[in-house]
Amino acid sequence: MDNAEIKRIYELYFDTVYRISFLYMKNENDALDVTEDTFCSMIRRLPSFENDEKAKAWLIVTASNKCRTLLKKWWNKRNDYTEAMKDVAAEDNKNSVLSEVLNLSDKYRIPTYLYYYEGYKTSEIGEMLGEKTSTIQTRLAKARELLKLELEEK
């Protein structure tokens, strides 16, 4: 992988990696740190990807793993970034559905975002998150129910 290829992948998937990181970290600065660290890992390891979808999947899995590692630290468990998350969602898209998706708990938010906004299949999401396909399908169904209730209230 040469510099031009690294730059192309960075420009193509920066936004996706940032959004995945933000879904976990619920904080713009932490999400940017994880995003940077994810691309640094790619540069250090220089994996060869069969196609762009493989590169995207590798970046998502790597970012997810880095976020989970950071979230295990005690100081991150004490912070509530719900307001920051709502602000970025409003600024980013002005989309009430996206705002409601971002308010879901992690187990519903991540699969919902990957499925509806990134276009992954349930089997691919299950593989990325280390869950069974049926678990992902159940979480998506529950997320739809929760979103329907929230959106009907408005």
pLDDT tens digit sequence for 123-136? 999 988 889 999 99
Q: How confident is the model at residue 140 (pLDDT cuts 50, 70, 90)?
A: very high
Query: Among the residues of the chain, which ranges form H helices?
Result: 3-25, 28-45, 52-71, 74-77, 82-93, 96-103, 106-112, 122-129, 133-153
Based on the fold, state whether residues 133 and 146 are members of the same structural domain: yes
Alpha-carbon gap, residue 107 to 55, rounded angstroms:
24
pLDDT of residue 94: 47
Last residue of a domain, one of 27, 48, 79: 79
User: Which among 49, 79, 109 is the end of a domain?
Assistant: 79
> Which structural domain range is residue 27 located in?
1-79
Domain count for the chain, please give it.
2
Contact yes or no for 122/140 (Cβ under 8 A): yes
Residue 78 has a pLDDT of 47
The pLDDT confidence band at residue 22, using thresholds 50, 70 and 90, is very high
102 lies in the same domain as 144: yes
The pTM of the whole model exceeds 0.85: no
- Please, is 105 exposed, middle or buried when counting C-beta atoms within 10 Å of its C-beta (0-12, 13-18, 19+)? exposed
Mark residue 89 as left, alpha or beta (left: phi above 0; alpha: psi -120 to 50; beta: remaining): alpha
